[in-house]
Amino acid sequence: MQYFPSWVPFAPEQASTLAGEVDALYLYLVTITLFFSVLITGLIIFFALKYRRRTPNEVPRPVAGSITLETLWTVIPLLIAMTIFAWGASLYFKMYRVPTQAMDIFVVGKQWMWKFQHGGGQREINELHVPVGSRVKLTMTTEDVIHSFYVPAFRIKADVVPGRYTTTWFEATKPGRYYLFCAEYCGTNHSGMGGYVVVMERNDYQAWLGGGATDSPASQGQKLFSDLNCATCHRNDTQDRGPMLAGLFGKTVQLDNGQTVIADETYIRESIVNPRAKTVAGFQQIMPTYQGQVSEEQLLALISYIRSLGTTNDSGAGGGATTGRDGGQQTTTGINPDAQRSNPTGPTTPGGTRAPVSTAPDSTGEQPDGANQPRSGRQQQQRSRGRQ
Amino acid sequence: MSTAVGAPATPIDAPRGVRFPHVNYLNANYGIKSWLLTLDHKRIALLYLASVTFFFFLGGVYAIAIRLELMTPAGDLVESQTYNKLFTHHGVLMVFFFLIPSIPAILGNFLIPLMIGAKDLAFPRLNLLSWYIYMAGGIITLWALLSGGVDTGWTFYTPFSTTFSNGYVVAAGLGIFVNGFSSILTGLNFIVTIHTMRAPGMTWFRLPLFIWAHYATSIIFILGTPVIAITILLVALERLARIGIFDPALGGDPVLFQHLFWFYSHPAVYIMLLPSMGIVSEVIATFSRKNIFGYTFVAFSSIAIAVFGFLVWGHHMFTSSQSIYAGMVFSFISYAVAIPSAVKVFNWTATLYKGSISYDTPMLYALAFIGLFLIGGMTGLFLAALGLDVHVHDTYFVVAHFHYIMVGGALMGYLGGMHYWWPKITGRMYPEGWARFAALVIFVGFNLTFFPQFLLGYMGMPRRYHAYPVDAPVWQVLHVMSTSGASIMGVGMLIPMVYFIWSMRYGKFATANPWPATGLEWRTASPPPTENFGTTPVVTWEAYEFRPMEETEVIGPGDTPAQPIDGMQPTDGKNP
């Protein structure tokens, strides 16, 4: 939706679906500002000249206040302000309500670099390649201080906060290289914590992806799951000492204090690094913390793996479940794993080559390749190992 | 028959360097002890003037260093770590040790008792104590900045400040913590004074708007400052004792800090601005010889700003991962707080209507204030618009916006006030020609410094950047403009420093009421005697009553054309 071409003076390029809308609101505000600035400065200059002091001793008559005028210049600015508020708020909702059908990219900030991982496992630092015309959802966290992911050409910005996942999204409209900045001051080399978002035609993107295919996050998570002996307690077939994880993602979990929580990324992360925060009803508080033992990237891999064990779609009726804290910016959705398969590459990829994204094995158990098949065997081993 | 209103503005031509003919607070006694142990609010105000000016000068040096670094895209003048300390020190000194205390502690201290017809503030010892506390806080902070430095930004965001920064965070925090008590005591003193020590006849709605503004400011001092004190304490606890409050690794919440910090620091913006608005009201009335249009609306808008100002802190956090619904509420209330500010601007403009406007230096600053505050305020609407803020948040757009408010607003008001009351404070006139010239230089320099930053910000230049991309040539052009503007403004600031000091010895003697104006402070000698008034004044006139209120003209149908009458119709028949 390009309301305005890029002739907006002193504006960065418009390279996302939201950029034009932000610029339109900006121009609306510039117009209002110009109007009032010209009005007030014009009046001041006019009065200052017209009523300048002509003799040193003149004293003008007092002028009484006017309720009519006071009411007018209270109500009219208030009405104008409300239009700005409504416009701004609706745009804000578009920015932070992540669409359910979007390709997933994990972002981990650290002093002073950006680390990205694609659904197919490709990793990048300080440069993010994305296809044009696809919705991209970023799930972000940081290893240290607060950073802020900012791409001026997309008009998006979201703080990256330690200890929680924040999300934002964009849909690039024009191939090109666009600045990526860290917008939240983060220490010595803050101004060096940036790079580029490279928007590519879909074909180029497929070619690029093909170059660096590795394990998907989910299969990396599976490997971690076994290395950390998680299956000792979290068996896949039946409830054990720990809750069963298959089908957990997106489900409503009953806690022992009577509350419920949606099993989204934030909840699963918290359950790994701070298991005592919430205890699932019917289980003992025996899980040790894994804080310090798993990095943020490994946590994301583990979450991908748990998601690949199956999601519950019943909670996704309203566009997805929300996390406890607010359901706003941190909205995460019980995304149908098919989302990744159908979007963005499948139908448009020529020659039937399936992109690594689409073959990403972080999908449900039906998928014959990838995560599922070897799992049972490996878990058997782990369990026996864990119980030695 | 006093000389209060209507006396021609002709300063007495005195031989240079001659001492004042009358006994006043400046020559009542001499010696360092008579200053450091003084309980006179006017002398304490001058103690503040000297120390605040020192911190302002230091903060200005840091600003120049920042601007020089940004002339080139590469970070080539200083190292990144040094640059981060530069902007942190600039912010800490300017906010906590210049902008917040400047007008209340100097002009408020000096003028509040004079304006309400009192001998002093309610608690003179507390007043002196607050200056000592200010100095203690200032020295601790200065020690922290000079011995190790702080690189957290003046905002001290966690967990960077509690876990990752190597600077002297706790020491700087301690200085700000201590300094806060100075603000609290000043606020307390003002509120009690305004409530209990008004002269007979000085009713609430006869108070100068300067007093209303300081009353509102004092409310924020008392309610807001303890919150920043608590927040600093929590940061220190986490940093020293590793108690998890903000650091998620310790079970804390980093965004909680932002809520606590801005709960104080947003209202703190109004601490800087409201007193300045009070000055503008006084100056506009005096130099257009008119009563302020819509006095009660202007008075209550100050209170409204103080109250609503406490409810909008979340608009600094639209991208912080705060709930989008919370964002909506904060955005909405932010637009509500914009309205009282707009009401003030409209009323000041309307005051000029049919006035008798002169272009003395204080008036130039007051008019500059309106124009610059207008731009600062309107760009605040950009930032309060949720979807637009996401793009411009933490960019130079924000930097430009708050400098238009704090420099274009608060500092212009402060300079206007200093010129306006200089004859009262020192008994001498400043050189008018030089002062007008300096005002022009500062105005031009200011706009050249900060207007390009709006453009930079919308183009996406993030704030607190030591270096910026080379392949964006327009950015450098704008930065060079900004730096040259800062240089012009820096020179402009030095001119008043020179002629103010010069005028203390060589300026012409000021009459009791040189402009002339209507306030009580002009109905005593310049400089005032230690006890302010010979006898307690009795107030029988309205605020800004340059001519009897019976002659008031009503705008609207049946309007008679204004006929400025030559020869004053002084209202001082009512003057005691």
Residue-wise pLDDT tens digits, B139-172: 999 999 999 899 999 999 989 999 888 889 999 9
Identify the H or E element spanning A108: strand A103-110
Residue-wise pLDDT tens digits, A250-280: 888 888 888 888 888 888 888 888 888 888 8
Residue B552 belongs to some domain of the structure: no
Could you tell me which residue, B67 or A375, shows the higher pLDDT? B67
Taking a C-beta distance cutoff of 8 angstroms, is the pair B518, B541 a contact? yes
pLDDT band (50, 70, 90) for residue A369: very low
CATH code at B390? 1.20.210.10
Residue-wise pLDDT tens digits, A152-183: 999 999 999 998 999 999 999 999 999 999 99
Spatial distance between the Cα atoms of A123 and A107, rounded to a whole number of angstroms: 10
pLDDT band (50, 70, 90) for residue A237: low
Residue A25 belongs to some domain of the structure: no
Residue B14 belongs to some domain of the structure: no
- In total, how many domains does chain A have? 1
Whole-number pLDDT of residue A284: 82
Spatial distance between the Cα atoms of B108 and B405, rounded to a whole number of angstroms: 20
Terminal C-alpha separation, chain B: 9
Residue-wise pLDDT tens digits, A112-160: 999 999 988 888 999 999 999 999 999 999 999 999 999 999 999 999 9
Overall average pLDDT of the B118-143 stretch? 96
Whole-number pLDDT of residue A219: 83
- In total, how many domains does chain B have? 1
Taking a C-beta distance cutoff of 8 angstroms, is the pair A51, B540 a contact? no
User: What part of A 62-91 touches B (C-beta under 8 Å)?
Assistant: 62-66, 68-70, 73-74, 77-78, 81-82, 84-85, 87-91
Whole-number pLDDT of residue A343: 36
Taking a C-beta distance cutoff of 8 angstroms, is the pair A353, A206 a contact? yes
pLDDT band (50, 70, 90) for residue A212: low
Residue A223 belongs to some domain of the structure: yes
* Nearest of A167, A130, A116, A98 to residue A344 by alpha carbon: A130
> Which residue type occupies A112?
W
Whole-number pLDDT of residue B199: 95
Residue B569 belongs to some domain of the structure: yes
Report how far apart, in Å, the C-alpha atoms of A51 and of each of A279, B10, B280 are.
75, 22, 18
Angle, helices A19-50 vs B361-384, to 10°: value is 160
Residue B229 belongs to some domain of the structure: yes
State both tokens at B224. Answer: 């807001």
Instruction: Please indicate if any CB of chain A lies within 8 Å of the CB of B356.
Output: yes
Q: What is the interface size between A and B, counted as CB pairs within 8 Å?
A: 340
Question: Does the pLDDT at position A377 exceed 70?
Answer: no
Mutation target for B interface from A18, A31, A61: give the one with most B CBs within 10 A.
Answer: A61
| Sole residue written with tokens 């002297």 | B168
Could you tell me which residue, A265 or A105, shows the higher pLDDT? A105
DSSP state of B313: G
Overall average pLDDT of the A106-113 stretch? 93
Instruction: Please indicate if any CB of chain B lies within 8 Å of the CB of A22.
Output: yes
Number of alpha carbons in the 13 Å side-chain half-sphere of residue B26: 19
Minimal Cβ distance to B321: which of A10, A81, A329: A329
Residue A207 belongs to some domain of the structure: no
Q: What phi, psi does A97 have (nearest 5°)?
A: -85, 105
Question: Does the pLDDT at position B66 exceed 90?
Answer: yes
Q: What percent of chain B has pLDDT over 70?
A: 93
Asked whether the beta carbons of residue A59 and residue B546 sit closer than 8 angstroms, the reply is yes
Residue B33 belongs to some domain of the structure: no
Residue-wise pLDDT tens digits, B388-405: 999 999 999 999 999 999
Spatial distance between the Cα atoms of A118 and B501, rounded to a whole number of angstroms: 66
A230 is in which domain, residue-wise?
217-386
Identify the H or E element spanning B435: helix B432-459
State both tokens at B514. Answer: 């040189």
pLDDT band (50, 70, 90) for residue A7: low
Overall average pLDDT of the B541-550 stretch? 89
ipTM of the complex: 0.90
Residue-wise pLDDT tens digits, A45-60: 999 999 999 998 899 9
Residue A287 belongs to some domain of the structure: yes
Question: Does the pLDDT at position B409 exceed 70?
Answer: yes
Report how far apart, in Å, the C-alpha atoms of B64 and of each of B61, B368, B439, B489 are.
5, 23, 19, 10
User: What part of B 280-309 touches A (C-beta under 8 Å)?
Assistant: 288-291, 293-297
DSSP state of A199: E
Asked whether the beta carbons of residue A60 and residue B545 sit closer than 8 angstroms, the reply is no
The per-residue DSSP string of B165-218 comes to: --S-HHHHHHHHHHHHHHHHHHHHHHHHHHHH-PPTT--GGGS-HHHHHHHHHH
Residue-wise pLDDT tens digits, B69-96: 999 999 899 999 999 999 999 999 999 9
Residue A39 belongs to some domain of the structure: no
Global pTM reads 0.85
Give CA B500 to chain center in angstroms: 19
Residue A28 belongs to some domain of the structure: no
Using an 8 Å CB-CB cutoff, list chain A residues near B163.
144-145
Helical residues (DSSP H) of B242-358, grouped into ranges: 254-288, 295-308, 324-352
CATH code at A331? 1.10.760.10
Whole-number pLDDT of residue B267: 95
B176 is in which domain, residue-wise?
42-543+565-574
Question: Does the pLDDT at position A99 exceed 50?
Answer: yes
Report how far apart, in Å, the C-alpha atoms of B531 and of each of B43, B189, B528, B536, B576 are.
12, 18, 8, 10, 17
Residue B268 belongs to some domain of the structure: yes
